[in-house]
C-alpha cells in the first residue's frame, strides 16, 4: 500500500481549532519528523494503524504499556468480564485486594500496594509519603530524569512556580560523588532519594545502573532515615519480574509502577515496604477512577502472564536480534548507531549527528517502510513481535541507510534547535 497521510493532515487541522496546539504532552508529534502521524485508528498485537490506514510495526508500544500485544485476548477478556460485573462503583471490588496481594507476592521489597491511574500519581504519592514519613522536605533526584507531569516534576516549567520546585536537589545518575554531594546539600532535611531503575532520559544515551551507585543510594537513605524511591513506571516488569533494582540487589522503600502492569489498561501503583506503611496510610490520596475494578482485573491477568510466560526472555531475544541486525546494516552503509540501554528497551540514535538531521531522515524513511521508531526516546519490545517483524525492521533500516547515504549533507532540524541552545 502506498503511504499517504491526507486523513491525518485533516485531523490535525481540525484538532488545531479545538485542542490547544492540536495536541499536547509527550504524544504530540510536534518534535518528531514532519511525516509522523498524530492520530491512530487501531492497534493489534505488535502493529499500529494510523488514521490513513498505514500499518507499522510499533516499537513505541504506546510509550511502554504494550507488553503482551495490543488487544491481548486474555487480558481484555478479564477486563470485559469485570466491567460487566462493575467497574467504577461506589467502592472498589474484591479484585483490589487480590491485586495488592499479587503485587506484594511478586515484588520482593513490597509489603503493601496502593493504586491510582497515572505514573505521576504514584511518583507524587511516593514523594508525599517520604515527606510524611521523615517530616522533612528535601528530595534528591537525578538530573534529567522524568517522573511525570505535575508542577513538582513537569519538564516544562510554564505554569509552575519556583515554590512548586522548592526543596529539590539534583545529582548525576550513576555518579556516587554527585549523589553524596546532593545529600550533603540536603543536610538534615533529606526526605528521599529518587532513582529510575536505569537511566532512560530522552536525547542522551541510556545507562544501566552502576551497582555501587545503587548501593550508596540505599546506604545514604539508611544513614539519614530517608526513603529510597525507585521509579519503575517506564521500565517496570521490562527488566525483571521484580523491581528493576532487584537486578543490582538493592531494595527500595517505595516503587512507582504504571504502563505495562495492565498491558495498557489505565492503572498505576505505588508499592512500599512496611517501614512506610503508616506514612502511606496517613496521606490523603484518591481519585474518581482510582478504584475502578476492570483495569485491576486486567492487571491481574497481565501479572499472571508475567509470572507464567517467557515474555521477558522473549523481548530480550527479539531486542538482541534487532540490535545486531541494525548494527550490521549501519556499518554496511558506513554509519554508526548508538544503541544503548537494555536490548528490550533500546534507545537508537545515529552517531555523528549533532543536529539530529541524520536521525530524523533515517527514522522518517523507516516510518514510510512500516516501522515506527523514535529518534530520541527509548523504545520498547513487545512479546507479540515475531522474528519476521524484527527482520522487516532491519530490512527497512538497511534501505533507509541507503537513502541517507544518497541524500548527502542535510539541513539541521529546525525543531531541535532549542536543544542546542540549552546545551550552549
Ligand X SMILES: Cc1ncc(COP(=O)(O)O)c(C=O)c1O
Comparing CB distances to ligand X, the nearer of 69 and 148 is 148
Q: Nearer to ligand X by C-beta: 146 or 311?
A: 146
CB closer to ligand X out of 45 and 119: 119
From 37, 62, 65, 119, residue interacting with ligand X (rule: CB under 6 A): 119
Residue count, binding to ligand X (CB under 6 A): 13
Question: Considering only 129-137, 144-152, 181-189, 272-280, which stretch makes contact with ligand X by CB under 6 A?
Answer: 144-152
Alpha-carbon Rg for the chain, nearest whole angstrom, is 22
- Given 148, 341, 346, 356, the residue binding ligand X (CB under 6 A): 148
Give yes or no for residue 120 binding ligand X (CB under 6 A).
yes
Cα separation, 39 vs 326, in Å, equals 28
Interatomic CA distance for residues 117 and 128, integer angstroms: 17
Window contacting ligand X (CB under 6 A); options: 72-80, 130-138, 227-235, 356-364: 227-235
CB distance 312 to 343 below 8 Å: no
DSSP three-state, residue 225:
coil
Quote the least distance from Cβ 149 to ligand X, whole Å: 6
Q: Is 231 in the site for ligand X (CB under 6 A)?
A: yes
Q: What part of residues 160-219 is at the interface with ligand X (CB under 6 A)? A: 196
Among 146, 213, 311, 376, interactor with ligand X by CB under 6 A: 146
CB 398 to ligand X: min, Å: 31
Which residues on adjacent β-strands are paired with residue 53?
none
**Residue 367: partners with Cβ closer than 8 Å, 6 or more residues away:** 33, 35, 36, 56, 373
Of 8 and 231, nearer to ligand X (C-beta) is 231
- Judged by CB under 6 A, does residue 123 bind ligand X? yes
Cell reading at 281: 496510610
Handedness of CA 295, 147, 347, 63 (dihedral sign): positive
Q: Phi/psi of residue 230, each to 5°?
A: -105, 125
Q: How far is the CB of 231 from ligand X (least distance, A)?
A: 5
Q: Which of residues 289-318 bind ligand X (CB under 6 A)?
A: none
Contacts of ligand X in 28-87 (CB under 6 A): 63
Residue window 252-281: x/- pattern of binding to ligand X, with contact defined by CB under 6 A: ------x-----------------------
Element (H, E) at 327: helix 311-332
For helices 95-106 and 293-308, what crossing angle results, to 10°? 30
Q: How many helices and strands (H and E) does the chain possess?
A: 12, 13
Q: With contact defined as beta carbons under 8 Å apart, do 271 and 237 qualify?
A: no
Cβ-based nearer residue to ligand X, 54 or 292: 292
Q: Is 147 in the site for ligand X (CB under 6 A)?
A: yes
Instruction: Give the H/E segment covering residue 231.
Output: strand 227-231
Cα distance between residue 157 and residue 326, in whole Å: 37
**Binding site residues, ligand X, CB under 6 A:** 63, 118-120, 123, 146-148, 196, 231, 233-234, 258
Amino acid at each position: 500500500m502506498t503511504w499517504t497521510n491526507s486523513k491525518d493532515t485533516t485531523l490535525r487541522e481540525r484538532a488545531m481549532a479545538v485542542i490547544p496546539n492540536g495536541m499536547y504532552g509527550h504524544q504530540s508529534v510536534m518534535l518528531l519528523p514532519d511525516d509522523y502521524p498524530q492520530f491512530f485508528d487501531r492497534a493489534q498485537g505488535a502493529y499500529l494503524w494510523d488514521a490513513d490506514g498505514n500499518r507499522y510495526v510499533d516499537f513505541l508500544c504506546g510509550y511502554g504499556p504494550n507488553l503482551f500485544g495490543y488487544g491481548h485476548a486474555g487480558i481484555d477478556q478479564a477486563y470485559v468480564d469485570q466491567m460487566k460485573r462493575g467497574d467504577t462503583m461506589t467502592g472498589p471490588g474484591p479484585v483490589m485486594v487480590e491485586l495488592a496481594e499479587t503485587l506484594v507476592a511478586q515484588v520482593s521489597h513490597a509489603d503493601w500496594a496502593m493504586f491510582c491511574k497515572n505514573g505521576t500519581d504514584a511518583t507524587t504519592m511516593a514523594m508525599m509519603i517520604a515527606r510524611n514519613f521523615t517530616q522533612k522536605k528535601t528530595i534528591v533526584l537525578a538530573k534529567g530524569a522524568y517522573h511525570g507531569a505535575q508542577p513538582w516534576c513537569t519538564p516544562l516549567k510554564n505554569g509552575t512556580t519556583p515554590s512548586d520546585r522548592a526543596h529539590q536537589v539534583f545529582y548525576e545518575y550513576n555518579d556516587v560523588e554527585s549523589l553524596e554531594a546532593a545529600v550533603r546539600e540536603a543536610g538534615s532535611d533529606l526526605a528521599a532519594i529518587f532513582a529510575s531503575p536505569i537511566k532512560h532520559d530522552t536525547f542522551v544515551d541510556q545507562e544501566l545502573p552502576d551497582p555501587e551507585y545503587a548501593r550508596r543510594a540505599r546506604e545514604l537513605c539508611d544513614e539519614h532515615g530517608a526513603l529510597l524511591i525507585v521509579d519503575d513506571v517506564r521500565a517496570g516488569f521490562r527488566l525483571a519480574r521484580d523491581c528493576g533494582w532487584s537486578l543490582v540487589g538493592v531494595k527500595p522503600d517505595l516503587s512507582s509502577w504504571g504502563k505495562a502492569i495492565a498491558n495498557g489498561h489505565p492503572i498505576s501503583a505505588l508499592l512500599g515496604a512496611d517501614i512506610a506503611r503508616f506514612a502511606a496510610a496517613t496521606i490523603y490520596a484518591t481519585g474518581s477512577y482510582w478504584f475502578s475494578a476492570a483495569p485491576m482485573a486486567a492487571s491481574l491477568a497481565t501479572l499472571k502472564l508475567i509470572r507464567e510466560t517467557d515474555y521477558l526472555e522473549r523481548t530480550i531475544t527479539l531486542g538482541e536480534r534487532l540490535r545486531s541486525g541494525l548494527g550490521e546494516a549501519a556499518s554496511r552503509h558506513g554509519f554508526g548507531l548508538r544503541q544503548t540501554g537494555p536490548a528490550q528497551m533500546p534507545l537508537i540514535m545515529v552517531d555523528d549527528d549533532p543536529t539530529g538531521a541524520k536521525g530524523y531522515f533515517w527514522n522518517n524513511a523507516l516510518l514510510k517502510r512500516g516501522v515506527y521508531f523514535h529518534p530520541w526516546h527509548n523504545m520498547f519490545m513487545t512479546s507479540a513481535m515475531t522474528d519476521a517483524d524484527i527482520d522487516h525492521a532491519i530490512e527497512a533500516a538497511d534501505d533507509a541507510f541507503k537513502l541517507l547515504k544518497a541524500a548527502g549533507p542535510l539541513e539541521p532540524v529546525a525543531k531541535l534547535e532549542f536543544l542546542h541552545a540549552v546545551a550552549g
